[in-house]
Chain A
Amino acid sequence: MSKKPFSFRDFFGFGRKEGNALNESPASSCGSGSGCGGGSCPSTPPPQEGGALHRPANRREALGFLGLGAATVAAAVGGGCGKDDPLTEMKFAEYFKKNYRLMTEEERRETVRRIEILTEAATHRKVHVKDTAAQPGVRFGYAFNISRCKGYGECIEACVKENNQDRGTNMQYIRIFEVDKGQFSPEHGKTEYIHEVGAPGKFYMGTQCFQCGNPPCTKVCPVGATWQEPDGLVVVDYNWCIGCRYCEAACPYWARRFNWQEPQVPAADINPNQHYLGNRLRRQGAMEKCTWCIARSRDGRQPACAEACPTGARVFGNILDPDSEISYILKNKKVFRLKEDLGTEPHFWYYMD
């Protein structure tokens, strides 16, 4: 945790700058008065790839629309450091923007553009934030083959990288439970096992967000910051979330994660292919969750976990498409879901060969 005096400007996201290792480069920040306003500064210095990898993540460089330190980028987008600083204006606009669901197409385009610029200013990484909408005729579903999974955990690693999760608290969406044969529930399993996997007498069961057909988490949100999209994905508007964590208490599958601190993602590790409702960089005090990689799945790609699985235990697809693999499994295999008695209608099925 970096030591800095508390500032309301920073807290509300209008803080202008603070030096950090990355930004104390040739073009120093506004406050130090080295006069880099008016576009006179060199453009964004190249990210220090090698260095950034080996340094512990710094919460300033990691993310944060708080206290941006990059006067250089301010210059790059054609501004100075004064009150009319376009970055400050953008942060202002970001703070006062609407709930995503109430935005017009135009407003969505604007916020996406602002986020791209602000992210670049904070991290020196060019990112692309999409706002791809759900496609008609698509309802995503997921099937997990418990006779195939060997507990390698490749899915977990791929997920963390794809979704820009906080490395500081080691946040993970996916849990792989090692369960003794003869039992049949993750409750009897363990998620921490340090031995060669595919262990005899054990089987492995993965959990993540099941994108329930009747999600208890979205119903309880007092500000409507989380909802279900027409293609079934349950998403969070990170800017709109007030951080009450009622949804986290309401989820029967423990699928939600909270940003207890400013998320730390080393700049070099940021996945630049982002979606507004998915893996864009988050902030301290907001809830997040697995979206079956909305940035990929809405482009017709597999989620990172399904792609990374070396055993083929994970099958993802459109259950409304009768020719999809997931439809085949639902039609021809014996499947089951967790906690069916709750009526949550998970769209995540387990099956066996």
Chain B
Amino acid sequence: MQKPLHFLRDCFTAATRGGPSFYLWAGFLSLLILIGAWAYTLQLRHGLIVTGLNDHVSWGLYISNFTFLVGLAAGAVMLVMPAYVLKDLDFSRAVLIGEGIAVGALIMCLCFVTADMGSPQNAWHLIPKIGYFNWPNSMLTWDVIVLNGYLALNIFVPAYILWSHWNGRHPNKKLYVPLMFVSVFWACSIHMVTAFLYASLVARPFWHTALLGPRFLASAFAGGPAFILITLLLIHKFSSYKIGSELFRKLALIVTIAAQANLIMLGSEAFVEFYFPSHHGISARYLFFGYQGHDALVPWIWTGIGLNILGTLLLTVHLTRRREGWRTLACALIFIGIWIEKGMGLIIPGFIPSPLGEIVEYHPSTPEILVTIGIWALGLLIMTLLIRAALSIELGHARAPGAATKLPDDH
């Protein structure tokens, strides 16, 4: 029992000790978390009335961010899959970092869903047996299962690998490689299930399309690896953990292909909605061009689409994709573009117009925005701490007493 505690202590020390720039970053995030927590107490006290939500637009900024972040979590599979299924050694150096990002993203997802709940004190009603778990009927129960399962996979597999390395030995492949395969399928399932959450609603024609699931996957495999690429670049620049240029090249290629597929599907949806505009296309008309004088989302969605197209173009052209500066910029553009398109650009128009044709627009309130920023800060802090702990073991800095700093050659 002594040893695991020692391991955890080493991880904690590695995660929380650092230079001034780390303390500045962690302090900045903590401040945002505190402000968000304060804003959340307002919501607990007065109810969701402090948000911009209402009976017409009943999901907003929280669920938008939740949807996007499921994609970010699923994006980590684009490191796991090449590393373990295709046995590409370039990727295996980054897998642990990808999984740290997935854990942070999943915790953000759970926080956003909780923040959106009107009665979080009743969350225990979701526990099977003790509460009433409406499985398999409710897609939300499926989402609870897949998100928590994916979170468990992304905590335990890296923890086992790090534990083995900390002990100066290789992890047992028979133990964790099957789980890695499971997590590849699981990653796809978290995003498909989240898409089905919306696509299953006949009341909302904007979401009620079979293309939603595949489009979620494409945007996840563009936005997720784009974020990972930027994170890896930061680690490469600011830590002693070096990442080969091959990996950046391959990751950029993944982002390119996924972003292209995403744009093709966007075009396909736009064609169906606008070739012969029907009643079912009113939400899309509202989103892209405004409807009956209501156009709050028009500049927002065109910004997102502009960023996506520009980013995809920069990545498609070899000349720009191969230059580090352009490549990183393109990834940032795609990340923000997808956050807009798959966040508010997807959730809000589902509610406008209402099923009875009424139009009520939505603007997030200040407390809602503060809570959202706080949850993002929490996620980024968790990612930072997990990655720092992992890297300190990977670099051989943290080791069990007497364990070899350098791992024996793999066989």
Interface string of B111-154 (1 = CB under 8 A from A): 00100111111110110000111100111110010000000000
Contact of A259 among B47, B117, B203 (CB under 8 A): B47
Q: Once the chains bind, are A219 and B119 in contact (CB under 8 Å)? A: no
CA distance A253 to B355 in the complex (A): 6
Is A310 interfacial (CB 8 A cutoff)? no
Contact A245/B47 with A13-B121, A222-B138 known, Cβ cut-off 8 Å = no
Q: Once the chains bind, are B119 and A260 in contact (CB under 8 Å)? A: no
Contact of B118 among A216, A220, A285 (CB under 8 A): A285
Is B380 interfacial (CB 8 A cutoff)? no
Instruction: State the Cβ distance, A345 to closest chain B Cβ, in Å.
Output: 12
Interface size on A, residues (CB 8 A): 59
CA distance A345 to B316 in the complex (A): 50
Is B317 interfacial (CB 8 A cutoff)? no
Is A71 interfacial (CB 8 A cutoff)? no
Q: Once the chains bind, are B125 and A223 in contact (CB under 8 Å)? A: yes
Chain B residues positioned under 8 Å from A343 (CB to CB): 202
Stretch at the interface among B52-60, B90-98, B264-272: B52-60
Is B354 interfacial (CB 8 A cutoff)? yes
Stretch at the interface among B38-46, B183-191, B248-256, B392-400: B38-46
Instruction: State the Cβ distance, B382 to closest chain A Cβ, in Å.
Output: 24
Is B350 interfacial (CB 8 A cutoff)? yes
Within 8 A of B (CB), among A191-247: 191, 207, 216, 219-225, 239-246
Is B357 interfacial (CB 8 A cutoff)? yes
Contact of B45 among A6, A101, A260, A342 (CB under 8 A): A6
Chain B residues positioned under 8 Å from A253 (CB to CB): 203, 355-356
Interface of B is mostly: loop
Q: Once the chains bind, are A99 and B132 in contact (CB under 8 Å)? A: yes
Q: Once the chains bind, are A175 and B356 in contact (CB under 8 Å)? A: yes
Is A178 interfacial (CB 8 A cutoff)? no
Within 8 A of A (CB), among B365-390: none
Is B409 interfacial (CB 8 A cutoff)? no
Contact of A242 among B123, B203, B354 (CB under 8 A): B123
Q: Once the chains bind, are A216 and B202 in contact (CB under 8 Å)? A: yes
Q: Once the chains bind, are A260 and B48 in contact (CB under 8 Å)? A: yes
Within 8 A of A (CB), among B133-177: 133-134, 137-141, 144
Instruction: State the Cβ distance, A205 to closest chain B Cβ, in Å.
Output: 10
Is B204 interfacial (CB 8 A cutoff)? yes
Chain A residues positioned under 8 Å from B55 (CB to CB): 171, 248, 254, 256-258, 260
Q: Once the chains bind, are B46 and A240 in contact (CB under 8 Å)? A: no
